[in-house]
Amino acid sequence: MPSSTEKLTTHHNFIDGGWVPSVSGQTFENRNPANTDDLIGVFQKSTAADVSRAIDAAKRAYEHWRLVPAPRRAELLFRAAQLIADRKEALARDMTREMGKVLDETRGDVQEAIDMTFFMAGEGRRQYGQTVPSELRDKFAMSVRQPLGVSAIITPWNFPMAIPSWKIIPALVCGNTVVFKPATLTPLSALNFVRILEEAGVPAGVVNLVTGGGGDVGSAMLVNDDVRVVSFTGSTEVGRIVSEKAAPSFKKVHLEMGGKNVIMVMDDANLDLAVEGCLWGGFGTTGQRCTAASRVVVHERVYRPFLDRFVTRARALRVGDGLDPGSQMGPLVSAEQRETVMQYVEIGAKEGATLACGGHALTTGAYAKGFFHEPTIFADVSPQMRIAREEIFGPVVSVMRCQSVEEAVAIANGVQYGLSASIYTQDVNRAFSVMRDVYTGIFYVNAPTIGAEVHLPFGGTKATGNGHREAGTAALEVFSEWKSVYVDFSGKLQRAQIDTADL
């Protein structure tokens, strides 16, 4: 691992096919959250002027890129997918260094980018429209997809290669151009992704990368009239700001925001399987997933045996540097994120929940230079408590009792979010009824709330999203518009809904 005394690489923005410094002349550091002595690199602290240059480049490139046949665009993306696959291990190690999650998880993050890029490249030959019979003779009717223009892509730090692939690849295959602002905590993975697209042959200006803060870079993207679609993943609070700033110019806006996801464990559940699912769902990525299982609702008949097993397994989790093969849970991504977790632990204790395990920051020995925190479980939680209603984004799980499946469903639906939910049961009738009644965008049976696959839509309801979906063919709806086309070859005026074709 490089030390901070070694010569550092200063990374640049990627605008109009070239790697260029910010006009500000300012930079920011990227440090390893497991060891802050490890300075990974220096990145551009960009300004609105950099954003304007990138948008201008994307706008110019759009006039050519939109006319490239979709199957040809797809060929470049297939090439990019193979390059990502070839470099999977190196990309995963870079990702673990900059955001902390264990290597198995960052390999999965990179694999998701591979899967999404291969899948979406296939849509270059499958952007199907409709052909329908006209109500008039000698008239042909069909619909086709058309791109929108410049796409503003704003992504978070927790999946720094997977989520950009969910947005950038469908945007490109539909014929749009891209200006990409990654999270300031994970710029290296974003830069690696863009370098691969450049190497795959994506033309100059089609993809542009501008690093820096949301206030300077993100806001400038949102208010620029030349941006026609915005795709954002982040908190609900910031998503609301994104929506408001984009509204005056009638941009299409796709928002993927917070979650407070629930696993329901019924009295007939396989408890060992449920415990495994709750461990993975609650503490995978150190709880820093929008789909994390931060709520567990357990039928009172199995509450105590479930809780005992869950706590025992959580205490045994090995916390450490994600690059260590023995680590099962890495650090939080930043000091601020750990502070948020510590504040919620204090809130839970004051609300009267029982701290069943964890609850402390890890600050000594091997943990001294990172942002580590114990896996934490609160028991005897009421659904009205803040720890059971608000997104914490850390390794904190609230366990609640229920007396029936109906009460479990009511608890599941009783928060502002609606992303993912799960039930553990052996009763197929119960599983299907709960699947119907829980109002979320994603639902699992006998599996945790994480683990979405790229060929199905991803997204949520209520304060989690604004009705659009990522992944699957649903992603094409975000980055394209429909055009209905009518071709009249009768040689005369025909008036739809007025003139009637002869039988």
Residues counted in the chain = 503
Active-site residue (options: 174, 278, 290, 402)? 290
Q: In 297-360, which ranges are continuous DSSP H helix?
A: 303-316, 335-351
List beta partners, residue 177.
150
Distance CA 186, CA 315 (A): 29
256 among known catalytic residues = yes
290 among known catalytic residues = yes
**H or E, element range at 110:** helix 103-122
Task: Name all domains of the chain by residue range, CATH numbers in brackets.
Answer: 35-257+465-483 (3.40.605.10), 262-445 (3.40.309.10)
Active-site residue (options: 112, 123, 198, 256)? 256
- The HSE-up count of residue 125 (CA atoms within 13 Å, CB side) is 7
What is the DSSP pairing of strand 252-256 with strand 227-233? parallel
Q: What is the pLDDT along the chain (503 residues), one digit of tens a residue?
A: 444 434 678 999 999 999 999 999 999 999 999 999 999 999 999 999 999 999 999 999 999 999 999 999 999 999 999 999 999 999 999 999 999 999 999 999 999 999 999 999 999 999 999 999 999 999 999 999 999 999 999 999 999 999 999 999 999 999 999 999 999 999 999 999 999 999 999 999 999 999 999 888 999 999 999 999 999 999 999 999 999 999 999 999 999 999 999 999 999 999 999 999 999 999 999 999 999 999 999 999 999 999 999 999 999 999 999 999 999 999 999 999 999 999 999 999 999 999 999 999 999 999 999 999 999 999 999 999 999 999 999 999 999 999 999 999 999 999 999 999 999 999 999 999 999 999 999 999 999 999 999 999 999 999 999 999 999 999 999 999 999 999 999 999 999 999 886 66
Rg (CA), the chain: 24
Distance CA 178, CA 13 (A): 13
Cβ proximity of 367 and 344 under 8 Å: no
What single-letter DSSP state applies at residue 401? E
Cβ proximity of 281 and 293 under 8 Å: yes
Global pTM reads 0.95
